[in-house]
Amino acid sequence: MSERRARTSSISAAPTLPQPSSPIRTGRASTRRAYRPGATAPDDFANGALCSPRSAVSLSFMCVHTSMDLRLLLLGSPTTPDRAVLVAVDDLAHPTIGAVITALGLPLAPTSIDGRRVDPDQPAAELLVDGATITQHAGQPPSSAPSAVGVAVVAGPDAGRITHLAEGATLVGRDLSAAVVIDDRTVSRRHLEIHVIGGGVSLHDLGSVNGSRAGIQWLSTPAPVAFDALVHVGASSIRFHSIPATTLPSAAACGGRIALVRPPRQQPRGPQPIAPPPRAQGASRLIAIDVVSIAVPVLFALLMAVAFDPRFALMGLIGPVLAVSNHIGQRRRARRDNARREISDRQARTRFRNDLVAARAAHERDLHERTPDLGEIARRIDHDVAGLWERRHAHDDFLSLGVGFGAIEWTPAFTGEARDIDETARALLDQHRLIDDVPIVIDAHHPVGIRGEPTDALALARALVVQAATLHGPADLRLVVATTDARSAEWAWTAWLPHTHDPRADTRLVVAGEVALREMVEQLLGAAQGDDVAHTVVIVDDASLVANRATPIRQLLAGLRGATAIVVASPTAPLPSLCHTVIDVAADMVVTVTVPARASIQRSVTATRLAARMARFVDPEASSATASLPAQVTLLQLLGNDIDASTIAARWDASRAAASFVVPIGVDGDGPLMIDLVHDGPHILVAGTTGSGKSELLRTLIA
């Protein structure tokens, strides 16, 4: 069993709102109320999280027309809670944004929708979508100058909050007067100052108690910071990013909801192997002078000189001279070769160090890309919807969720066998073995247990749910929330999520109480035969709900394919044995994960706002019981199941007689969809992404 501790991220609880009173109606006639798939019926507001007095509003300026039933979130301030309202907008009557604001009982003050300034005379049907956030600016209207830099809280109680920064100095702290408020007791009231100049960012700690640092650098003096750097502010963490230009989505296309067509995902390449560490080449061996080989010729020459002629002594000197000169040459060549080998070894070690640093940095980037932090999650919901629902059930990181930041051990992959690693290379490997401030990940394919004080454990569970809903679409992931009556308000925000909507029964899979829980389980198990949702994650906000195999939740987990659970328990309550991963949440925002070792948390106000921003999206790949089109249709169904030789010959004769070439290619709302290759042609362009069915369509045309 391994353990890992990590700095955590967190989301806080949404305000509890009472039940609605009678709807407010404006105009001359009432509007017919029709709750379509994806909309929230009045029963969903009974828990008090999505409605308040005067919060069900019907806008109509003509006779009865079909209206868009939208849930809107009126954003509050640090001292006032957010408020949710239900609005029926008659898209044929063309009400304006000003009419909506007036019907809601709000003053006609400068207003922003989804963070963008709007004009009161703009048509409401073109701007409002399900889950739109409305902000009214008291006093001075917001600056029209676009902000190029944003700061996101990625760890700590306020994780997931994004603030747009203007040019100049911005105060960060716990004080409500700060431009970036971080409600964390480890953050000083005036903690840090951000300077934005020309798109660049520099930071200066203002003498805070717990300090500020980027990596290992303490920010006691003004210092520039890169956008991808993680900056620790007390026990919380922030990260900077650029803000792309955004346009408000059009609600007219699909009754206030947007079909989010996901492009093919470009998965990260993963870790790339590097060359193994070089082995040092040994120094050239110096050969000593052979004294015997020199002495023998000299002695022989001396004997010859004595016996015959003194000039023989000169011949005896030739051998020693050649031997000495050869030895000197060898030493010179050895020194030259050793110098070359030393340069080669130094270059090889430098290449290995550079490859090691680059591989470590690439692995760190890969970890962050695969597991985006809560700030990046919020940025995708607000600005980069191409990153929403990018994971499919076939991806290797499906249901891999981050629970915070921490240090992991890393060993590079080598292209060959690493043998005889010398001390220098081993020291380099040890120096880069730990990677700090990277996401700690759990595999939620198997049940996860969260143990801690109620507030802290709930914050972590919220973060996991928001991540799961952002990274996985409703076609691949269903979310079910089971809680008690006493804690139902803590989970009311999940009713915004498209993943908790069951289109077959047009209900929300957020229940409290034993009776409602049993009814929901029977509903899901009864429809399990034709269920095409790949995975179901059940959030269990009381460990007693899964205490034994006879409980409805355990029956649901056993009856649905790909079902798993996230179980929240108090520090003293025993977690069920089905939990494969156990996470202990401490009060100091540090999470300890056991088996298989991974760590993150969030506030409910932030979770509510993020969930509301996702309410506008529908997954076109998710099946719907009320959809007019089937999920698929076969060629025999289009041609008629009684196809034989006589019917084929009859079709050929009819085609020749009509001088046409009509073939079915699918179905629409009126029945089979036909094209005439003679009158509609003579050419056809078939386009689509890889795996979209281009080849199958061509086979259909030929058949």
Q: How confident is the model at residue 208 (pLDDT cuts 50, 70, 90)?
A: very high
What are the structural domain ranges in the chain? 57-136, 149-242, 291-363, 390-623, 635-701
Q: Which residues pair with 590 in a beta bridge?
A: 7
pLDDT digits (tens, 9 = 90+) for 143-157: 555 567 889 999 888
Task: Tell me the two tokens of residue 249.
Answer: 């989505």
pLDDT in the model for residue 60? 38
pLDDT in the model for residue 211? 92
pLDDT digits (tens, 9 = 90+) for 274-305: 888 877 666 566 666 667 767 777 787 778 87
Domains 149-242 and 390-623 share a fold: no
Residue 331 vs residues 29, 283, 328, 335, 338: alpha-carbon distances, Å: 108, 12, 5, 6, 10
How many angstroms separate the CA atoms of 460 and 451, rounded? 10
pLDDT digits (tens, 9 = 90+) for 471-512: 999 989 999 999 999 999 999 999 999 999 988 888 899 999
CB 127 within 8 A of CB 134: no
pLDDT in the model for residue 64? 35
Short-list 681, 461, 337, 415, CA closest to 11: 461
Q: What is the DSSP string of 346-410?
A: HHHHHHHHHHHHHHHHHHHHHHHHHS--HHHHHHHHHT-GGGTT-B-TTSTTTTEEEEEEEEEE-
Give the whole-number percent of the chain exceeding pLDDT 70.
79
pLDDT in the model for residue 252? 42
Q: Which residues pair with 536 in a beta bridge?
A: 478, 563
Average the pLDDT over each of 180-194, 196-210, 609-623 and give the range with the smallest value. Answer: 609-623
**pTM of the entire structure?**
0.74
CB 443 within 8 A of CB 362: no
Task: Tell me the two tokens of residue 688.
Answer: 């689509």
Range from 34-43, 243-252, 352-361, 668-677 that averages highest in pLDDT? 352-361
- Regarding predicted confidence, which is higher, 38 or 316? 316
Q: What average pLDDT does range 663-673 have in this prediction?
A: 73
CB 399 within 8 A of CB 469: no
Q: Is the dihedral of CA 629, 632, 638, 641 positive or negative?
A: negative
pLDDT digits (tens, 9 = 90+) for 81-113: 888 888 887 755 678 888 888 888 888 888 888
Distance separating the N- and C-terminal Cα atoms of the chain: 59
pLDDT in the model for residue 646? 78
How many angstroms separate the CA atoms of 154 and 563, rounded? 29
Residues 6+ apart with CB under 8 A from 696: none
Instruction: Provide the 3-class DSSP secondary structure of residue 116.
Output: strand
Q: How confident is the model at residue 140 (pLDDT cuts 50, 70, 90)?
A: low
Describe the crossing of helices 454-471 and 374-382 by its angle, rounded to 10 degrees: 50
pLDDT digits (tens, 9 = 90+) for 377-430: 988 888 767 789 999 888 889 999 998 888 888 989 888 877 777 788 888 899
pLDDT digits (tens, 9 = 90+) for 607-656: 888 888 888 888 877 765 444 456 567 777 777 666 777 777 777 777 67
Chain-centre distance for alpha carbon 631: 28
**Is pLDDT above 70 for 19?**
no
- The pair phi, psi for residue 566, each rounded to 5°, is -120, 110
Residue 308 vs residues 41, 297, 299, 303, 315: alpha-carbon distances, Å: 130, 16, 14, 8, 13
Instruction: Provide the 3-class DSSP secondary structure of residue 486.
Output: helix
| H/E segment holding residue 316 | helix 312-316
Give the whole-number percent of the chain exceeding pLDDT 90.
21
Half-sphere exposure of residue 91: CA atoms within 13 angstroms, side-chain side: 17
CB-neighbour burial class of residue 511 (10 A; exposed 0-12, middle 13-18, buried 19+): buried
Instruction: Provide the 3-class DSSP secondary structure of residue 280.
Output: coil
pLDDT in the model for residue 157? 85
**Is pLDDT above 70 for 579?**
yes
Short-list 434, 529, 2, CA closest to 215: 434
The matching CATH number, chosen from 3.40.50.1820, 2.130.10.10, 1.50.40.10, 2.60.200.20, for 149-242 is 2.60.200.20
Task: Provide the mean pLDDT of the chain.
Answer: 78
Fold designation for 390-623? Rossmann fold (3.40.50)
